[in-house]
Amino acid sequence: MALTLIQECRVAVADLDTAFPILDDATYEYFLTKNESSVRRASLEAARTILLQLSLRGEETVDIFSVKGSKAAEQYRLSLQMFLRDPSLNPVLTSVNAYCGGISKQDMQDNVDVFDTNAVITANDDGVYTYPVNDDPFSI
């Protein structure tokens, strides 16, 4: 069974009660549009919105029924923290590309050849600083 993007967001944030959903479909659609149809990012925004809505609910007692909104908000906050600590949801860890410059011989040679590259240049015996012109990438 294929889920729609809105249903995927609902599953991710556990907004599964069909009779009384916490957020309506238009809100999920807004988050998906805002985040370019990324279910992960839309779910994070929806989860934060749900947490804020639950925190605004008070405690009510009618006859023998009691609704404790603060307890629901606290439990959802703990779940949201666990959800956000998941490394696969961290945008820094999922979209970062590593680059280490100066490791290959070509990178080192490029660094030596380009005058604009920062390098440690020492003065010669006359006290004059000159940029080295050398084919050896290890000399400065």
pLDDT tens for the 140 residues of the chain, in order: 688 999 999 998 888 888 888 899 999 999 999 999 988 889 888 988 887 777 776 677 777 777 666 777 777 778 777 777 776 666 556 666 666 655 677 777 777 777 676 656 666 667 666 655 555 656 55
Q: What is the pLDDT of residue 51?
A: 79
The verdict on 53 and 80 lying in the same domain is yes
User: Which residue range forms the structural domain that includes residue 31?
Assistant: 5-95
Say if residue 91 is in the same domain as residue 74: yes
Residue 65 shares a structural domain with residue 90: yes
Q: Which residue has the tokens 């609902």?
A: 10
Contact between residue 76 and residue 50 where contact means Cβ atoms under 8 Å apart: yes
Same domain, 91 and 34: yes
Residue from 14, 25, 7 nearest 79 by CA: 14
Structural domains counted in the chain: 2
Residues 78 and 113 in one domain: no
Place of tokens 């600590």: 85
Q: Are residues 22 and 78 in the same domain?
A: yes
Q: Calculate the dihedral angle through the C-alpha atoms of 40, 28, 12, 81, rounding to the nearest 10 degrees.
A: 80
**Predicted pLDDT at 75:** 79
pTM value > 0.75 = no
